[in-house]
């Protein structure tokens, strides 16, 4: 029996195959149920106990050698076959790696980050709130009367009625959340996405972005607000920028104003961006109405403060001379790639 095993082992060692078929024929002859090696295992049953250990070891070695041989030959033949397929070349390991294309920040993110940085430099911290808001945080706490038109279906996307849950129409809702949870001094800015039921056009969209600002402390005055906003305007639009405040109305501030910046594109001489006025409106602002402070649990006799809110799209349109707001939302790569160098 040992002789038979050795003969087969020699045969296995010497075996070579050029095709898959040859390899398969060999496998069947050696290893299949009726093959030579299983036959030896049958014969092994009649080996006398004294020789079993030695013969058994030899036999196992033979089986292992045959299996390995068939596997190596088959794998080799497979790799050879696939590298011979037309159009399929062996990889060139010396070739330099492909560059992964580097993405760019969205212009709205670039401008939002710039706004954040400008205010962070003078001690404002960033706070955020939910995009789905209740009536209290979006309207009531901010002193909107029951019948204010902004609460109307025409302006607001309602998620649920009674109690009213809606997509926030401005980031002023975050002011309320901050004041409800923190005591002055408060210095915060809240960037975020807001929603209004408006027809989409070059100047309006149903989704846009705002940054809200809030400053509450003892003895905060309108003059403090002006100085802060002048600082912001000059950091954002250049050091020669002038600001102008026009009286306005918001339910949550008293007095309220709208702020214009001098047009940096034409040096206030008049151009299509500033509509030949020399000024561009960029935000609403004012002294926080004492009712709002009280609604949020802040003593309006002890504390005063100012608030402001601006649209990020609007600032981005001025900085980058973009005439159509819809471009921010279309994800056209020809547009977005222009901001590759912007941080």
Q: Which stretch binds ligand DAH (CB under 6 A): 131-139, 227-235, 271-279, 306-314?
A: 306-314
**Residue 43: which residues within 8 A CB-CB, separation 6 or more?**
1
Greatest extent of the chain over all pairs of C-alpha atoms, in Å: 113
Q: Does 253 bind ligand DAH (CB under 6 A)?
A: yes
**Minimum distance from CB of 307 to ligand DAH (Å)?**
3
Is 55 within 8 Å of 47 (Cβ atoms)?
Answer: yes
User: Closer to ligand DAH at the Cβ: 110 or 142?
Assistant: 142
Burial 192-223 (b: 16+ CB within 10 A, else e): bebbbeeeeeeeebebbbbbbbbbbeeebeee
Near ligand DAH by CB under 6 A: residue from 308, 314, 316, 317? 308
* Two tokens, residue 181: 């949870």
Q: Does 172 bind ligand DAH (CB under 6 A)?
A: yes
According to DSSP, the residues that pair with 213 across neighbouring strands are: 189, 308
**Minimum distance from CB of 120 to ligand DAH (Å)?**
18
Q: Does 305 bind ligand DAH (CB under 6 A)?
A: no
**Chain Cα centroid distance, residue 113:** 14
Q: Does 259 bind ligand DAH (CB under 6 A)?
A: no
What character string, x for contact with ligand DAH (CB under 6 A) and - otherwise, covers 207-246?
-----x----------------------------------
* Two tokens, residue 118: 């400008």
Near ligand DAH by CB under 6 A: residue from 73, 282, 285, 327? 285
Q: Does 177 bind ligand DAH (CB under 6 A)?
A: no
Q: Report angle CA 35, 41, 46 to the nearest 5 degrees.
A: 135
Is 144 within 8 Å of 251 (Cβ atoms)?
Answer: yes
* Closest by CA position to 45, among listed 56, 37, 36, 35: 56
Near ligand DAH by CB under 6 A: residue from 233, 286, 295, 298? 286
Q: Is 245 left (phi over 0), alpha (psi -120 to 50) or beta?
A: beta
**Minimum distance from CB of 343 to ligand DAH (Å)?**
27
Q: Does 196 bind ligand DAH (CB under 6 A)?
A: no
User: Closer to ligand DAH at the Cβ: 188 or 268?
Assistant: 188
**Minimum distance from CB of 231 to ligand DAH (Å)?**
17
Number of helices (H) and strands (E) in the chain: give both, helices first: 11, 10
Residues making contact with ligand DAH (CB under 6 A): 170, 172, 212, 250, 253, 284-286, 307-309
């Amino acid at each position: 029996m040992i002789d038979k095993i050795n003969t087969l082992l020699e045969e296995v060692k010497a075996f070579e195959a050029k095709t898959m078929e040859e390899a398969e024929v060999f496998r069947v002859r050696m290893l299949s149920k009726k093959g030579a090696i299983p036959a030896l295992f049958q014969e092994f049953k009649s080996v006398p106990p004294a020789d079993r250990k030695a013969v058994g070891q030899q036999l196992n070695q033979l089986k292992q050698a045959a299996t390995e041989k068939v596997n190596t030959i088959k794998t080799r033949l497979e790799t050879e076959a696939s590298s011979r397929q037309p159009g399929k070349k062996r990889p060139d390991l010396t070739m330099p790696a492909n560059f992964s294309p580097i993405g760019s920040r969205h212009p709205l993110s670039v401008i939002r980050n710039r706004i954040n940085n400008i205010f962070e430099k003078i001690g404002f911290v960033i706070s955020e709130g939910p995009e789905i808001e209740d009536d209290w945080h979006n309207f009531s706490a901010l002193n909107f009367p029951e019948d204010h038109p902004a609460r109307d279906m025409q302006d607001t996307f309602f998620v649920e009625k009674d109690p009213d849950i809606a997509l926030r129409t401005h980031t002023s809702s975050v002011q309320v959340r901050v004041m409800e949870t923190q005591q002055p001094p408060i210095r915060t800015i809240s960037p975020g996405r807001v929603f209004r039921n408006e027809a989409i056009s070059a100047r309006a969209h149903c989704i846009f972005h705002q940054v809200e600002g809030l400053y509450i402390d003892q003895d905060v005055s309108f003059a403090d607000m002006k100085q802060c906003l002048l600082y912001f305007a000059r950091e954002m639009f250049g050091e020669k920028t002038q600001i102008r405040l026009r009286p306005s109305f918001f339910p949550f501030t008293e007095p309220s104003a709208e702020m214009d910046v001098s047009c940096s594109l034409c040096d206030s001489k008049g151009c299509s961006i500033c509509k030949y006025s020399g000024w561009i409106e960029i935000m609403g602002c004012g002294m926080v109405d004492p009712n709002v402070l009280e609604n949020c649990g802040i003593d309006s006799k002890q504390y005063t403060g100012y608030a402001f809110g601006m649209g990020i799209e609007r600032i981005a349109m001025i900085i980058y001379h973009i005439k159509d707001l819809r471009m921010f939302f279309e994800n056209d790569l020809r547009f977005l790639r222009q901001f590759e160098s912007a941080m």
